[in-house]
């Protein structure tokens, strides 16, 4: 009898140890990621998802997010089987993907960023002296899109602008470098803004509108030669001193650089020009399953993740005060309230595709 009792006690003790080990393991897992979510994202969000603080904040909510970068419009041609979400840089390519994969609306839009033109100080000064821009200080100003479009129509060169001869780097045709509009969101939205101005302040909506604006858009693109598919690559080239003195990028890229490196030599020669007619890039999540939708909603609503998005230069949807407060030390470069900036409507995806095709020739 004693032997039986001893065996029972031993079993109970072993069971208790096993239970304690399991409980301990569960305790160790508390606060760590339990779901791995895979997605394809625009390259401008790569640094955000790689940020250790973002990784930690997502893990605290039970997620490990693994991403691959792609041009936003190029996502349409990818096989997204096995992915949980796609995260292009604006609503137009997101809508195309949502239709293709029968995704239920509405789509989460956690944050946005306006398009801006970064310029070397010499270029910005020459533009201002010739009525193509106004400067609000040493490092910030407004690009007059009407005047710029007119200059593009007439193939104006830097040499034709007064004051340019003092700067040896300002030669050749005056143009803004952008990404490939057939694969990259920022390049496509550049055409949307320029076409709106060229179309008399009306969104391009018909074949006649496309025909009317196509020659200008072709000029804007053809003068650039080979274009990159990544806004991240274009911006890094500009910061390194390579390439064109005027480059179209996302405001978020500039704000993030300034947050990380100001004051620095990288910012000494930087002027941020806000086009007076621009397009906002609404970063939109296309959930391909329940985990993807949950992640999209989390990015939109979680206070910690919203603060981290601002740290990376993005403007959270629904509360301008978050961005204004977080970038108070960067007002020399950033137009926090987008004063004097007009938001142009974006053509439908089909029209934008056709505009990009015609612009590329």
**pLDDT tens for each residue of 286-300:** 999 999 999 999 999
Residue 120 forms beta bridges with which residues? 270
- pLDDT above 50: residue 8: no
Q: Is the pLDDT at 53 greater than 60, yes or no?
A: yes
Residues 198, 91, 319, 119, CA torsion sign: negative
Using 50, 70 and 90 to split pLDDT, how confident is the model at 267? low
Question: Quick check: 13 pLDDT over 80?
Answer: no
Q: Average pLDDT, stretch 214-237?
A: 92
pLDDT tens for each residue of 226-235:
999 888 888 9
pLDDT of 232: 84
Contact assessment for residue 186 and residue 89, using Cβ atoms and an 8 Å cutoff: yes
CA 86 to CA 105: how far, in whole Å?
14
Q: How confident is the model at residue 268 (pLDDT cuts 50, 70, 90)?
A: confident
Stretch(es) of the chain classified as CATH 3.40.190.10? 35-111+283-330, 113-281+335-360
- For residue 234 the two structure tokens come to 């274009």
Looking at the chain, the whole-number percentage of residues with pLDDT higher than 90 is 80
Burial 153-178 (b: 16+ CB within 10 A, else e): eeebebeebeebeebeebeebbbbbb
pLDDT at 247: 97
Second CATH level (architecture) for the domain 35-111+283-330: 3-Layer(aba) Sandwich (3.40)
Task: Quickly state the pLDDT bin for 209 (edges 50, 70, 90).
Answer: very high
CA angle 154, 189, 214 (to 5 degrees): 40
Res 163 pLDDT > 70: yes
Q: How many angstroms separate the CA atoms of 150 and 153, rounded?
A: 5
Q: Check residue 15 and give its pLDDT.
A: 41
Helix (H) or strand (E) holding 28: helix 2-29
pLDDT band at 262; cut points 50, 70, 90: low
CATH entry 3.40.190.10 includes domain 113-281+335-360:
yes
Tokens linked to 28: 């160790």
22 pLDDT exceeds 50? no
Q: Which residue has the tokens 């250790």?
A: 52
Q: Does residue 215 contact residue 198 with C-beta atoms inside 8 Å?
A: no
């Amino acid at each position: 009898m004693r032997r039986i009792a001893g065996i029972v006690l031993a079993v109970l003790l072993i069971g208790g140890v096993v239970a304690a080990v399991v409980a301990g393991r569960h305790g160790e897992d508390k606060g760590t990621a339990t779901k791995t979510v895979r997605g394809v994202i625009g390259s401008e969000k790569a640094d955000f998802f790689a940020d250790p603080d973002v990784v930690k904040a997502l893990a605290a909510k039970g997620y490990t997010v693994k991403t691959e970068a792609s041009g936003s419009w190029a996502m349409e041609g990818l096989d997204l089987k096995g992915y949980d979400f796609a995260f292009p840089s604006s609503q137009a390519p997101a809508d195309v993907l949502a239709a293709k994969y029968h995704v239920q609306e509405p789509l989460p839009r956690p944050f946005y960023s306006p398009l801006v033109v970064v310029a070397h100080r010499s270029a910005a000064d020459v533009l201002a002296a010739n009525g193509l821009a106004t400067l609000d200080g040493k490092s910030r100003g407004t690009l007059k899109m009407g005047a710029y479009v007119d200059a593009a129509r007439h193939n104006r060169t830097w040499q034709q602008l007064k004051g340019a001869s003092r700067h040896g780097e300002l030669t050749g045709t005056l143009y803004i470098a952008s990404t490939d509009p057939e694969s990259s969101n920022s390049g496509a939205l550049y055409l949307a803004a320029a076409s709106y101005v060229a179309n008399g302040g009306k969104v391009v909506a018909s074949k006649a509108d496309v025909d009317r604006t196509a020659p200008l858009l072709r000029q804007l693109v053809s003068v650039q030669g080979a274009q990159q598919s990544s806004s991240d690559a274009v911006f890094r080239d500009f910061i390194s001193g390579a390439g064109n003195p005027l480059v179209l990028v996302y405001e978020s890229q500039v704000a993030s650089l300034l947050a990380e490196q100001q004051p620095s030599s990288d910012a000494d020669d930087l002027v941020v020009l806000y086009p007076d007619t621009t397009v906002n890039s609404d970063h939109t999540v296309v959930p391909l399953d329940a985990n993807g939708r949950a992640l999209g909603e989390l990015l939109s609503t979680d206070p910690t993740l919203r603060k981290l998005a601002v740290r990376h230069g993005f403007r959270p949807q629904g509360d301008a005060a978050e961005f204004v407060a977080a970038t108070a030390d960067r007002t020399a470069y950033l137009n926090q309230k987008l004063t004097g900036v007009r938001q142009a409507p974006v053509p439908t995806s089909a029209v934008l595709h056709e505009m990009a095709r015609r612009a590329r020739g």
